[in-house]
Amino acid sequence: MSKLPFFTYLAVMAGVTYLVRMLPLVLVKKKIQNRFLLSFLYYIPYAVLSVMTIPAIFYATDYRLSAVIGCVVALILSFIEQSLIKVAAAACAAAFLTEAVLRYVI
């Protein structure tokens, strides 16, 4: 099997990643003053993380109900400002227990 496609894809990925990180440093010389742009740049990481995580939550289990219950538990605990470890552990436990119950019920 030829390794050329792998190294070609690796080089393209490295180049794109480098450009995305390097271009803002080269193009933006002064401090950004625009409040809208600052707000946009502040919330982008949260939005991207949410868009990548939320769909995966609902397809991670065998039953959609267990995923929904785990997500609801995580949302409730995060709204009452629990630590990330507690939120993740409780959501996993809720999804696991729901899945275990559903296996015996269905």
Residue 106, pLDDT score: 79
Q: Helix (H) and strand (E) counts for the chain? A: 4, 0
- Could you state, in chain order, the average pLDDT of each consecutive group of 10 residues for the chain (106 residues)? 86 94 86 91 92 92 94 96 96 96 90
Q: What pTM does this model have?
A: 0.66
Are 70 and 56 in contact, with CB atoms under 8 Å apart? no
Residue 1, pLDDT score: 59
Q: ∠ CA 42-14-45 to the nearest 5 degrees?
A: 15
DSSP at 80: T
